[in-house]
């Protein structure tokens, strides 16, 4: 397991390196000049050149990338802004705040949003999927299956807006979503501010987990080893959880890991819909402002979330299924 | 014959499917005494496995109708509650399956799977169950059982998996063992070892065995009594020697004719049974074998297509379900069994 983790971590670093380089290149392919935006309305060629120098974008591309990389691993000095200790992701072009600080500032919102909704959709999705699998072909199964089909066709920018309008503004059932100081500062405000986004996100994701849990369980329940377990005299319940569920878990954990990784990377549309200020909102800002350091920061955060989620999924999968361990 | 340990009376199993009702077993009866072996032979879809699932009560209760009587040591299994059946399964009656790799859980060690049965029925501790698993693995001939007990099934070879499965089935010293094609997926040498193992264990524990197979060679090796099934019905039964040496039913002749013989002339072609096993959704009228039977036209009045022949049992449980007269059978079998070199 240790060797596996080392190998995967090295692989992950390589992936992040490639992604950062690609982002760099793509940023300069776009025919917009970030210096012009930073320069403001009264921009003379002289000030533009100065801004360009200060932003560090007058150097050739590979040199810039090298400086950025060195900054990440060893820290970097900026004229006028001072030393930025490693891991340094640079300073935002637009407001000269350290990118790392911006990201760590926003990350708790995204983390709360993702993990909170994941708890809701896993509990409901897997729960209804299990019931549907046990009651195969009965009314309950049919209701769960068709409801999940409807659920998976919903879009957050419609459901979210409709839910906010009716549930918060019209009927006052749930508080309007808002940023909070964080779980540790004020748990009650944190919970109230995120409840509606959790439920709406869960509504959309639950469907997928219901369908997946159901189909996986239907498959494993017909496996030979489940029959053997029954032939040994084990009860239906024991066989269901110890054998069938164990077999169904792998694919569910895989998708769950990827979904959480995706959500952690910034649920852009979700955050925009609910007016929350997490990584997703930050990425929109970075793109709008042509802010390369910030853009690199959020892209790497998203990529790291997905890469880490993948490693965790693989490790968990190996715990579930011994056949993976030795391969 | 002492009182049978397992007694099946007029067993009927029908599944309701979307296309209609499938009568997988249609009036099957047999007895099995303690310590003896009954071989059930037949093609795929003849109702062999369905019978074994019905005995264990593992059929899908919602879509299956089971009628008749299955008495295990005097207790009717068809009226038993699920809890009673759970107490019997793995304990008094147990089963080994064909594909040991698919039938063992890939997620648990072999030792845990064997010990699990033991703990369920004896309430033994984890530690005792493990010791028992090692002992059972040793008894079925797994080398270094104290090490292999912590292996997973995929780390075992095919033959070892089947041995582990047998260890799991016998861990509670069951009085009835149902073996559903336990050697079919194995190569011939391993097959022979497994058969020997089963015979040794049967001698040691006095287990009654129902041995299900499509392989007459295997039957000749292990069975005391033989029951030949076709289309969900018993077409012929008797002792091993009666059924294999002097078969009375054209279907049994066909089965024997499809097997190569080691002591006959080598240039005799095999004579497979023409046609396909019958659809149980819409079985042939009369005798279910008649569309494939070379002798149906010899029966007076075309009876085979209209009337189902009853299973006529004479002394000692010998029986055949065929419209041919005893005389005809004797004559035809002599013709049929005489090698025709080409």
Same domain, A293 and A318: yes
Q: Are B226 and B283 in contact (CB under 8 A)?
A: no
Measure the CA–CA gap between B142 and B168, rounded to whole angstroms. Answer: 13
**Rounded mean pLDDT, B146-154:** 95
Name chain A contacts of B104, Cβ cutoff 8 Å: 225, 228
- Do the chains contact at A322 and B152, CB–CB below 8 Å? yes
- Do the chains contact at A233 and B152, CB–CB below 8 Å? no
> What is the rounded radius of gyration, in angstroms, for the C-alpha atoms of chain A?
24
- Residue A168, judged by CB atoms within 10 A of its CB (0-12, 13-18, 19+), counts as middle
Same domain, A119 and A82: no
Residue B60 domain-assigned (yes or no): no
Percent of chain B with pLDDT over 90: 55
- In the numeric block, the tokens 């749930």 are attached to A174
Shortest CA distance from B55: residue in chain A: A231
Cβ–Cβ pairs < 8 A, chains A and B: 68
Q: What's the start-to-end Cα distance of chain B, in Å?
A: 46
Name chain B contacts of A326, Cβ cutoff 8 Å: 155
Task: Reply yes or no on whether the pLDDT at B338 is more than 70.
Answer: no
- In the numeric block, the tokens 């801004």 are attached to A51
Number of other residues whose CB lies within 10 A of the CB of residue B49: 19
Same domain, A196 and A146: yes
Measure the CA–CA gap between A238 and A240, rounded to whole angstroms. Answer: 5
| Residue that wins the pLDDT comparison between B340 and B166 | B166
Task: Reply yes or no on whether the pLDDT at B228 is more than 60.
Answer: yes
Residues of chain A short of pLDDT 50, as ranges, are none
Question: C-alpha dihedral over B291, B292, B297, B303, to 10 degrees?
Answer: -50
Task: Measure CB to CB from residue A229 to each of B87, B88, B105 and give the nearest one.
Answer: B105
Token pair in block for residue B267: 């240039």
Question: Which residues are within 8 A (CB) of B168 and not within 5 positions of it... i.e. 6 or more apart?
Answer: A232, B94, B104, B113, B114, B117, B136
Among candidate residues B170, B205, B226, the one where a domain is terminated: B170
Look up the CATH number of the domain holding residue A235: 1.10.3720.10
Residue B36 domain-assigned (yes or no): no
CA A4 vs. chain centroid, Å, equals 24
List the domain range (segments joined by +) for residue A290: 100-325
Query: How confident is the model at residue A240, as a pLDDT?
Result: 95
Residue B199 domain-assigned (yes or no): no
Give whole-number Cα distances, A44 to A36, A54, A157, B284, in Å.
10, 15, 42, 97
Percent of chain B with pLDDT over 70: 96
pTM assigned to the model? 0.83
Task: Measure CB to CB from residue B58 to each of A230, A235, A247 and give the nearest one.
Answer: A230
Query: How confident is the model at residue B36, as a pLDDT?
Result: 93
Q: How many domains does chain B have?
A: 2
Name chain B contacts of A230, Cβ cutoff 8 Å: 58, 89
Interstrand relation of B20-32 and B312-314 (parallel, antiparallel or unpaired):
unpaired
Task: Measure CB to CB from residue A233 to each of B89, B97, B104 and give the nearest one.
Answer: B89
Among candidate residues A98, A128, A157, the one where a domain is terminated: A98
DSSP state of A98: B
B52 touches chain A (CB under 8 A): no
Same domain, A38 and A104: no
Same domain, A168 and A90: no
Measure the CA–CA gap between B304 and B288, rounded to whole angstroms. Answer: 8
Name chain B contacts of A232, Cβ cutoff 8 Å: 89-90, 94, 116-117, 120, 168
Give whole-number Cα distances, B121 to A140, A228, B87, B116, in Å.
35, 15, 7, 9
Helix (H, G, I), strand (E, B) or coil at A136: coil
Query: How confident is the model at residue B271, as a pLDDT?
Result: 78
Handedness of CA B119, B121, B124, B127 (dihedral sign): negative
Measure the CA–CA gap between A252 and A217, rounded to whole angstroms. Answer: 10
Same domain, A182 and A219: yes
B104 touches chain A (CB under 8 A): yes
> What is the least distance, in Å, from the CA of A324 to any CA of chain B?
10
Question: C-alpha dihedral over B82, B87, B91, B94, to 10 degrees?
Answer: 0
- Do the chains contact at A231 and B58, CB–CB below 8 Å? yes
B97 touches chain A (CB under 8 A): yes
Number of other residues whose CB lies within 10 A of the CB of residue B188: 9
Shortest CA distance from B52: residue in chain A: A231
Residue B114 domain-assigned (yes or no): yes
- Minimum mean pLDDT range among A48-57, A264-273, B153-162, B259-268: B259-268
Shortest CA distance from B168: residue in chain A: A232
- Do the chains contact at B58 and A246, CB–CB below 8 Å? no
Task: Measure CB to CB from residue B105 to each of A225, A233, A326 and give the nearest one.
Answer: A225
List the domain range (segments joined by +) for residue B284: 245-337
Q: Which residues of A touch B (CB under 8 A)?
A: 223-225, 227-236, 243, 246-247, 320-323, 326
Measure the CA–CA gap between B120 and B92, rounded to whole angstroms. Answer: 13
Task: Reply yes or no on whether the pLDDT at B233 is more than 60.
Answer: yes
Query: How confident is the model at residue A88, as a pLDDT?
Result: 85
Residue B123 domain-assigned (yes or no): yes
**Rounded mean pLDDT, B192-205:** 89
Q: What's the start-to-end Cα distance of chain A, in Å?
A: 11
Token pair in block for residue A228: 């053997």
B233 touches chain A (CB under 8 A): no
Task: Measure CB to CB from residue A246 to each of B103, B107, B121 and give the nearest one.
Answer: B107
Query: How confident is the model at residue B297, as a pLDDT?
Result: 85
Helix ranges, chain B (H): 48-56, 82-88, 100-103, 110-122, 126-139, 145-148, 158-170, 188-205, 216-222, 240-245, 250-257, 303-306, 326-337
Tell me the β-bridge partners of B238. Answer: B226
Name chain B contacts of A225, Cβ cutoff 8 Å: 102-106
Residue B57 domain-assigned (yes or no): no
Among candidate residues B127, B142, B170, the one where a domain is terminated: B170
> What is the least distance, in Å, from the CA of A228 to any CA of chain B?
6
Name chain B contacts of A231, Cβ cutoff 8 Å: 56, 58, 89-90, 94-95, 97
Residue B3 domain-assigned (yes or no): no
Measure the CA–CA gap between A46 and A66, rounded to whole angstroms. Answer: 27
Residue among A118, A84, A119, A120 nearest A100 (CA): A84
Query: How confident is the model at residue B1, as a pLDDT?
Result: 47
Q: Give, in degrees to the nearest 5, the angle at Cα A14 between A8 and A17.
A: 145
B90 touches chain A (CB under 8 A): yes
Task: Measure CB to CB from residue A228 to each of B97, B107, B121 and give the nearest one.
Answer: B97
ipTM of the complex: 0.87
Q: Are A208 and A152 in contact (CB under 8 A)?
A: yes
- In the numeric block, the tokens 């691993």 are attached to A73
Considering chain B, what is the average pLDDT of its residues?
89
Among candidate residues A71, A98, A125, the one where a domain is terminated: A98
Same domain, B166 and B250: no
Same domain, A41 and A137: no
Same domain, A246 and A304: yes
Residue A292 φ/ψ, nearest 5 degrees: -60, -50
Tell me the β-bridge partners of B25. Answer: B13
Task: Reply yes or no on whether the pLDDT at B340 is more than 60.
Answer: no
Among candidate residues A98, A114, A136, the one where a domain is terminated: A98
């Amino acid at each position: 397991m240790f060797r596996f983790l080392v190998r995967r971590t090295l692989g992950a670093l390589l992936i992040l390196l490639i992604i950062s380089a690609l982002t760099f290149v793509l940023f300069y392919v776009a025919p917009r000049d970030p210096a012009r935006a930073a320069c403001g309305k009264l921009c003379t060629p002289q000030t533009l050149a100065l801004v360009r120098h200060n932003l560090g974008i007058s150097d050739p591309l590979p040199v810039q990338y090298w400086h950025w990389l060195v900054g990440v691993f060893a820290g970097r000095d900026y004229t006028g802004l001072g030393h930025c200790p490693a891991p340094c992701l640079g300073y935002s072009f637009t407001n000269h705040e350290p990118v790392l600080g911006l990201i760590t500032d926003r990350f708790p919102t995204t983390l709360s949003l993702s993990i909170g909704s994941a708890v809701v959709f896993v509990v409901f999705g897997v729960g209804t999927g299990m019931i549907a699998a046990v009651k195969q072909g009965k009314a309950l199964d049919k209701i769960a299956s068709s409801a999940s089909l409807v659920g998976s066709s919903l879009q957050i920018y419609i459901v979210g807006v409709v839910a906010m309008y009716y549930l918060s503004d019209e009927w006052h059932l749930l508080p309007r979503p808002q940023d909070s100081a964080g779980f540790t500062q004020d748990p009650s405000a944190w919970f109230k501010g995120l409840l509606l986004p959790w439920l709406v996100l869960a509504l959309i994701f639950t469907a997928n987990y219901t369908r997946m849990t159901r189909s996986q369980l239907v498959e494993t329940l017909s496996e030979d080893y489940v029959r053997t377990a029954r032939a040994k005299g084990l009860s239906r319940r024991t066989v269901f959880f110890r054998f069938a569920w164990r077999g169904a878990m792998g694919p569910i954990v895989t998708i769950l890991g990827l979904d959480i990784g995706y959500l952690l990377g910034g649920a852009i549309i979700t955050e925009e819909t609910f007016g929350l200020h997490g990584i997703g909102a930050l990425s929109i800002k970075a793109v709008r402002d042509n802010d390369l350091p910030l853009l690199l920061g959020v892209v790497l955060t998203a990529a790291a979330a997905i890469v880490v989620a993948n490693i965790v999924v693989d490790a968990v999968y190996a715990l579930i299924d011994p056949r993976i361990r030795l391969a | 014959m002492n009182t049978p340990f397992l007694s099946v009376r007029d067993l009927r199993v029908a599944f309701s499917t979307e296309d209609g009702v499938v009568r997988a077993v249609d009036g099957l009866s047999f007895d099995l005494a303690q310590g003896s072996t009954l071989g059930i032979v037949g093609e795929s879809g003849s109702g062999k496995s369905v019978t074994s699932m019905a005995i264990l009560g593992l059929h899908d209760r919602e879509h299956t109708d089971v009628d008749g009587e299955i008495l295990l040591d005097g207790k009717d299994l068809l009226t038993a509650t699920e809890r009673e059946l759970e107490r019997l399964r793995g304990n008094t009656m147990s089963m080994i399956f064909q594909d040991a790799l698919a039938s063992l859980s890939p997620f648990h060690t072999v030792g845990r799977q064997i010990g699990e049965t033991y703990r369920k029925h004896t309430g033994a501790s984890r530690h005792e169950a493990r010791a028992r698993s090692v002992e059972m693995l040793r008894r079925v001939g797994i080398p270094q059982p104290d090490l292999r007990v912590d292996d997973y099934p995929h780390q075992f070879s095919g033959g070892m998996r089947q041995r582990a499965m047998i260890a799991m089935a016998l861990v509670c010293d069951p009085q009835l063992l149902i073996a559903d094609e336990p050697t079919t997926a194995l190569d011939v040498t391993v097959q022979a070892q497994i058969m020997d193992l089963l015979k040794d264990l049967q001698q040691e524990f006095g287990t009654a065995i129902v041995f299900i197979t499509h392989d007459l060679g295997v039957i000749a090796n292990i069975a005391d009594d033989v029951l030949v099934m076709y289309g969900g019905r018993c077409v012929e039964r008797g002792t091993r020697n009666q059924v294999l040496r002097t078969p009375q039913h054209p279907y049994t002749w066909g089965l024997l004719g499809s097997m190569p013989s080691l002591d006959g002339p080598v240039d005799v072609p095999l004579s497979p049974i023409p046609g396909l096993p019958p659809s149980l959704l819409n079985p042939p009228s009369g005798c279910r074998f008649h569309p494939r039977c070379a002798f149906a036209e010899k029966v007076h009045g075309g009876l085979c297509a209209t009337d189902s022949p009853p299973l006529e049992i004479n002394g000692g449980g010998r029986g055949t379900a065929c419209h041919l007269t005893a005389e005809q059978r004797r004559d035809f079998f002599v013709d049929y069994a005489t090698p025709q070199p080409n």
